[in-house]
Amino acid sequence: MRMSAVLVRTLREAPADAEVASHQLLVRAGYIRRLASGVYTFLPLGLRVLHRLEAIIREELDQVGCQEVLLPALHPIELWEQSGRAALFGSDALPALTVDGRGGTFVLGPTHEEVVTATVAAEVDSYRQLPQTVYQIQVKFRDEARPRFGLLRTRELIMCDGYSFDVDKEAMQDSYRIVYDAYLRIFERLSLDVSPVEAQSGAIGGDVNHEFMVPSVVGEDHFVRCPGCGYAANVEAATRAGVIPADDAAVPEGVSIVEHHTPGCPGIGDVVAFFDDATITPGDLLKSLALVDDQGRATLLLLSGDREARLPGGWRLFDDDDFARHPFLVKGYIGPMGAQSQGARVVADLGVARPGPWITGANKVDHHAGGVLLGRDFAVDEWGSFAEVVTGDGCSRCGEPVELVRSVEAAHTFQLGTKYSDVMPGATFVTEDGGESVFSMGCYGMGVSRLVAVIAEEHHDDKGLVWPSALAPFQVHLAALGAGRAPEVAEAADALHDRLVAAGIDVLYDDRDVSPGVKFADADLLGIPVRLVVGAKGVARGIVEVRQRATGDEREAPLDGPIEDLLAG
């Protein structure tokens, strides 16, 4: 392909809204263009990268028996109401539109669990047809409140989402492992250092699930990693080591509760500032969060004031109506004293295992209490790891200190079980013994368009992109220098181009009438693995200059030598 005919315009400066390297370089190199906030056009070079990425995904999934389908992007809202996710997402967060004169409402699909369950249920009616694993590569829509970082966080995205259907949980776990391993091979081929980590399922649901995280300085997520045993989990799911205090643990003597008038101090920082005592830190305060647990029970979660809470799935913070129903819990001034006698359950993070004394809310407006002791003034019904893990905490498996790793999520897989087949009509099959059962499902999502940015973020330098050879839009960037003034250069470059193409090599041929400096700068910016330069002096000597983009290594090779010699590193 001749560069003079390609729809590409390189930019010397990055757009003002481009905060990270991948966004800056993909725009500057003419791979993508912004249409609106969180919405991007893939130009020809960008689309070639996208197609190469999709081809790798298809190869690995097809190889393990997955079948490609294409599901509708428009979903009748009734499907989402049947699964209960219309209410879970909420009308403000679920992209929807009316598409006909009768007022029919459709969802712009952010994910496809409902649609694929209905589709497969209509085709499979016997255990003999199972297992089935299908996938698609399709545009998705998300009501992203804060699009940023180019393709890393968008409102419209291209995703590969797969779904497995099995006869029972054990068979589903086998299918899950097959796709999980295929994902690892995909990321290896994409030259990405990916860590699968335990995670929470969120709106997708299910029990076991994993996020595939790429360590990155621009990541907005973090995961916990133990260098000792290899344990890895998302910060929302990670747990830490700790010791639950014995029921008969000693309580300090000579410590009395002292009530303090703390007007306008509902937060931890406010209270520390109020005491204005260098010996009092956030870690001396007992944070009491009023929650509703997954069984609908009023619950107090206790943790040290210097830690952030990690809420189990299905738990939520009290809203105003909850506080109205439990007037003994005073918003901003909650303490655990007497909570059980008022019908509230008390759970505590392992970091609260020391007796105290603690400073905590006094259950009175504008008042806190000091000298509060575990075992004397409050009791705990359940202990656990309810605080977000931080660097230096003990690993929940081996006890060694863990580290927090900044990262980008590249994929997420879920063992859904029967979450959707239980509620979607007709999602059943005839079992081997003639009975009826529902599908046990797995779900596998990979952000394809996001991966273009993830790879660009990990593979670039100060001059431009450095594509892995498996993903580069072209294998060779051929530059002819001064061809307009030297017919022999144009002739030699044309001949070399034709030889490369005949050998099955994808070539971007820079035949433009611009200076060598511009051609070299654009070659570095575009990031194609091998650059071949044909110039007047080289033609006179019968050589072509060869440069490896990734290493910067340069050498000369015979102009009419074997093609493989031109491409060798």
Instruction: Give the CATH number for residue 377.
Output: 3.90.960.10
Residue 422 token pair = 């239980």
Report how far apart, in Å, the C-alpha atoms of 232 and of each of 199, 239, 271, 307, 471 are: 9, 10, 35, 20, 28
Look up the CATH number of the domain holding residue 548.
3.40.50.800
Question: At 484, is the pLDDT very low, low, confident or very high (cuts 50, 70, 90)?
Answer: confident
pLDDT digits (tens, 9 = 90+) for 331-372: 999 999 999 999 999 999 999 998 889 999 999 999 999 999
> Peptide bond preceding 263: is omega within 30 degrees of 0, i.e. cis?
no
- Tell which wins on pLDDT, 87 or 132: 132
Maximum Cα–Cα distance for the chain, whole Å?
98
Look-up of token digits 């209905």: 118
Asked if residue 395 is part of any domain, the answer here is no
User: CB-side exposure of 369: number of CA atoms within 13 Å?
Assistant: 20
- Residue count of the chain, please give it: 569
Spatial distance between the Cα atoms of 477 and 549, rounded to a whole number of angstroms: 10
Q: Is the pLDDT of residue 204 over 50?
A: no
| Pair (69, 177) in one structural domain | yes
User: Can you list the pairs that 34-40 forms with residues at least 24 positions away whose Cβ atoms lie under 8 Å?
Assistant: 36/155, 37/147, 37/155, 38/144, 38/147, 38/153, 38/154, 38/155, 38/156, 39/154, 39/155, 39/156, 40/150, 40/151, 40/154, 40/156, 40/449
Arithmetic mean of pLDDT, 168-187? 97
| Pair (546, 433) in one structural domain | no
Q: What is the DSSP letter of 232?
A: E
Spatial distance between the Cα atoms of 2 and 247, rounded to a whole number of angstroms: 78
The answer to whether 398 touches 388, Cβ cutoff 8 Å, is no
Q: How many domains does the chain have?
A: 4
Q: Is the pLDDT of residue 202 over 60?
A: no
At residue 146, the pLDDT reads 87
Query: By mean pLDDT, which of 24-38, 306-320, 468-482 is the weakest?
Result: 306-320
Question: At 540, is the pLDDT very low, low, confident or very high (cuts 50, 70, 90)?
Answer: very high
Q: Is the pLDDT of residue 567 over 90?
A: no
Question: At 569, is the pLDDT very low, low, confident or very high (cuts 50, 70, 90)?
Answer: low
Q: Is the pLDDT of residue 184 over 70?
A: yes
Look-up of token digits 């595939």: 212
Asked if residue 323 is part of any domain, the answer here is yes
| Pair (305, 410) in one structural domain | no
Strand partners, 299: 291, 345
Spatial distance between the Cα atoms of 448 and 186, rounded to a whole number of angstroms: 11
At residue 84, the pLDDT reads 86
Question: At 99, is the pLDDT very low, low, confident or very high (cuts 50, 70, 90)?
Answer: low
Spatial distance between the Cα atoms of 109 and 557, rounded to a whole number of angstroms: 53
Q: Is the pLDDT of residue 249 over 90?
A: no
Spatial distance between the Cα atoms of 340 and 322, rounded to a whole number of angstroms: 17
Asked if residue 315 is part of any domain, the answer here is yes
Arithmetic mean of pLDDT, 462-478? 97
> 359 burial class (0-12, 13-18, 19+ CB within 10 angstroms)?
buried
Q: Is the pLDDT of residue 312 over 90?
A: no
| Pair (53, 163) in one structural domain | yes
Q: Is the pLDDT of residue 236 over 80?
A: yes
Arithmetic mean of pLDDT, 382-394? 93
What is the chain's mean pLDDT, rounded?
Answer: 92
Asked if residue 467 is part of any domain, the answer here is no
At residue 313, the pLDDT reads 78
Arithmetic mean of pLDDT, 28-43? 97
Asked if residue 245 is part of any domain, the answer here is no
Residue 416 token pair = 């859904």
Spatial distance between the Cα atoms of 475 and 304, rounded to a whole number of angstroms: 56
> 496 burial class (0-12, 13-18, 19+ CB within 10 angstroms)?
buried
| Pair (130, 226) in one structural domain | yes
Range of the domain at 529: 476-567
| Pair (52, 144) in one structural domain | yes
pLDDT digits (tens, 9 = 90+) for 138-149: 999 988 888 999
At residue 206, the pLDDT reads 56
Q: To the nearest whole percent, how much of the chain has pLDDT over 90?
A: 79
Residue 3 token pair = 């560069």
Q: Is the pLDDT of residue 485 over 90?
A: no
Question: At 429, is the pLDDT very low, low, confident or very high (cuts 50, 70, 90)?
Answer: very high
Question: At 247, is the pLDDT very low, low, confident or very high (cuts 50, 70, 90)?
Answer: confident
Residue at a domain's end among 107, 125, 159: 107
| Pair (136, 46) in one structural domain | yes
Residue 464 token pair = 């431009």
Question: At 483, is the pLDDT very low, low, confident or very high (cuts 50, 70, 90)?
Answer: confident
At residue 452, the pLDDT reads 98
At residue 47, the pLDDT reads 98
Look up the CATH number of the domain holding residue 124.
3.30.930.10
Q: Is the pLDDT of residue 92 over 70?
A: no
Query: By mean pLDDT, which of 247-251, 279-283, 491-495 is the weakest?
Result: 247-251
| Pair (93, 213) in one structural domain | no
Residue at a domain's end among 351, 384, 417: 384
Strands 436-438 and 507-510: unpaired
Q: Is the pLDDT of residue 251 over 90?
A: no
| Region class of 202: left (phi > 0), else alpha (psi between -120 and 50), else beta | left
| Pair (427, 450) in one structural domain | yes
At residue 201, the pLDDT reads 57
Asked if residue 248 is part of any domain, the answer here is no
| Pair (315, 438) in one structural domain | no
| Pair (139, 80) in one structural domain | no
Asked if residue 142 is part of any domain, the answer here is yes
| Pair (371, 499) in one structural domain | no
Asked if residue 325 is part of any domain, the answer here is yes
Taking the CA atoms of 489, 490, 495 and 497 in sequence, report the sign of the dihedral they define: positive
Residue at a domain's end among 352, 384, 416: 384
